[in-house]
Amino acid sequence: MKQIQAPQLAAWLADHTQPQPILLDVREPWEIEMCSLDGIAHIPMHTVPLRCDELDAGRDVVVICHHGGRSMQVAMFLERKGFTSVHNLAGGMDGWACSVNPSMRRY
C-alpha cells in the first residue's frame, strides 16, 4: 500500500492525462455530510468486506477517511483481497482541508 499526501492527490486529480483513481471514502454518512470530495465512492468502513466487489480491483484506488487511520486499515484489506494499486490518503480529509482546500469544513 502506498501513502499519498493531499497535494499529490490534488495534482493527480487535476491531471486529466492520467487515469483517474477511484476515491473510496470509508467514513460514516454523517462525516460525508460535513465535507467530502467530488466523485467519491462512499462505502463505510464496516461494510467494505461485504461491498468491495463493487470496486474495480484493477484500477488505482485512493482510500479516504478523517485522518488516515481507518483508510489505512481498509487499504491493507483491499490489498489482501487482490487490489493491485491501493493508496492511503495520509492525513485524510483533515489533511486535505489543511493543505489543499482551507475553506473546507473541518471537524
Determine the pLDDT at residue 75: 98
Secondary structure class of 84 (helix, strand, coil) = coil
For 50-90, the pLDDT digits (tens) are 999 999 999 999 999 999 999 999 999 999 999 999 999 99
Catalytic hit among 35, 52, 65, 98:
65
Specify whether 65 is catalytic.
Answer: yes
Q: Going from the N-terminus, what domains does the chain have, and what CATH number goes with each?
A: 2-99 (3.40.250.10)
Q: Which among 57, 47, 53, 10 has a CA at the least distance from the CA of 25?
A: 47
Structure-block grid coordinates of residue 25: 471514502
Determine the pLDDT at residue 2: 97
pLDDT band at 1 (very low <50, low <70, confident <90, very high): confident
What percent of the chain has pLDDT above 70? 100
Nearest 10 degrees: CA dihedral of 106, 75, 19, 29? -40
The Cα 15–Cα 44 span in angstroms is 28
Contact 44, 29 (CB under 8 A): yes
pTM of the predicted model over 0.85: yes
